[in-house]
Chains A and B, each alone.
Chain A
């Protein structure tokens, strides 16, 4: 596709339920990133993928959070047993390579509300 695509764009879920957020990166982009942004705050790094591997999972807030990427394409961020503090927008981004100087392109985000 033309840009990074995320789904769902909005999700309201009950506390304790599991949610899956999907990201389709720009075709050909080998690097994929997940960030979380709470209202009025900056972006909080969660995890990145180089190909299908995740070298740095240190940003995942707890063991309720997991992410995977298959086929060097689609990625899924799963939050188990959601809590109210998980409410945020989850942003996915991708870049062609992982050089540190390449441009990162963001999707429009998945807005998660836990009630």
Chain B
């Protein structure tokens, strides 16, 4: 079992719809959770971080964390073609804060 698992996709949604990206992790003592966006051929860019259970909203993006279920998700409202990218989930632990463990990413395509 991978430490951080994501559906590889591709996930395709029409413009204006809600895109839902999911991530599960195996280490129960994980502390910090991050969503990165990576355009093809580019480096990852942080879009959301979340540290406590519940929802965190930032513009069109909402991150949701459920530590009991070891589950973190990212919702993108009013999806735009420019949101088309690979979304990487990353997890950092308590005991080794220097190591982020990444999932393999979910590729999202937003169709005009």
Task: Given A42-B88, A43-B88, A109-B43, verify A104-B100 contact (CB < 8 Å).
Answer: yes
Partner of A42 from the list B34, B98, B104 (CB cut-off 8 Å) is: B104
Chain A interfacial positions (CB closer than 8 Å to B): 31, 33, 35, 41-45, 48, 50, 55-56, 59, 91, 98-101, 103-109
Would you call B98 and A48 a contact (CB within 8 A)?
yes
Chain B interfacial positions (CB closer than 8 Å to A): 4, 31-32, 34, 42-46, 49, 51, 88, 90, 92-94, 96-105
Partner of A106 from the list B45, B96, B98, B101 (CB cut-off 8 Å) is: B45
Inside 8 A of A100's CB, which chain B residues have their CB?
A: 31-32, 92-94, 97
**Which residue of chain A is the closest to B105 with respect to CB atoms?**
A42
Task: Given A98-B98, A108-B42, verify A42-B103 contact (CB < 8 Å).
Answer: yes
List 20 A–B pairs whose Cβ atoms lie within 8 Å, in order of A's numbering: A31-B98, A33-B100, A35-B102, A42-B4, A42-B102, A42-B103, A42-B104, A43-B44, A43-B102, A45-B99, A48-B99, A56-B99, A59-B99, A91-B43, A99-B97, A100-B32, A100-B93, A100-B97, A101-B31, A103-B46
Inside 8 A of A105's CB, which chain B residues have their CB?
A: 46
Inside 8 A of B93's CB, which chain A residues have their CB?
A: 100
Q: CA of A43 to CA of B31 in the docked complex: distance in angstroms?
A: 19
* B39: min CB distance to chain A, Å: 11
Q: CA of A17 to CA of B104 in the docked complex: distance in angstroms?
A: 29
CB-CB nearest 4 A-B residue pairs:
A100-B97, A48-B98, A42-B104, A43-B102
